Amino acid sequence: MSEQEPLFTDGKDLPGFHSLLGYRQVSWEENEAVLELELQPRHLNLGGVIHGGVLTSLLDIVLAQAGTHCPYPGRMRKAITLSLTTTFTGQCSGGTIKVTGRKRAGGTRIFNSTGEVHDDKGNLLAIAEGTFRIRSGSDKPEGVPI
């Protein structure tokens, strides 16, 4: 486990699309990453519950992170999603959700991860599995500059 502080622990200064979601990085270590999101009205669908696209986006991020930990400050490793399957198992309309991703298998460039989303009462909201490819330059542990 790295002594490096996880990126974006306060949910501020997230890049691009990530800033629209507004999550907080709880932890990011070898083979596992955890995010939290305090639900806001912008995260809800017309039915008043969390939008499936928000859940899927968070799962995509955390599953990729699970296979791309970089222990070097100021650097990161990147991956692209090859496939992602999400199954929705519950609903919520408020509170804080926790998203956990775990790397399950992989080679030098391709890896597989699974993940779950739980509400603050511990209810399972969604599960996912994905296959990812390490981007060029990110295949070594030192990754690329942020």
Domain ranges of the chain: 11-139
C-alpha–C-alpha distance, residues 23 and 8, integer Å: 8
Query: What digits encode the pLDDT tens for the residues 88-146?
Result: 999 999 999 999 999 999 988 999 999 999 999 999 999 999 999 999 888 888 888 88
> Are 142 and 72 contacting, i.e. CB atoms less than 8 angstroms apart?
yes
Residue 2's DSSP bridge partners are none
pTM of this structure: 0.89
Are the C-beta atoms of residues 95 and 39 closer than 8 Å to each other?
A: yes
14 burial type by CB count under 10 A (0-12 exposed, 13-18 middle, 19+ buried): middle
Q: Does domain 11-139 have CATH number 3.10.129.10?
A: yes
Q: Is 1 helix (H, G, I), strand (E, B) or coil?
A: coil
Residue 3 has pLDDT above 50, yes or no: no
Q: Alpha-carbon distance 100 to 92, whole Å?
A: 17
* Torsion angle defined by CA atoms of residues 61, 107, 74 and 72, in that order, rounded to the nearest 10 degrees: 130
Residue whose pair of structure tokens reads 């699309």 in the numeric block = 17
**What is the reported pLDDT for 44?**
96
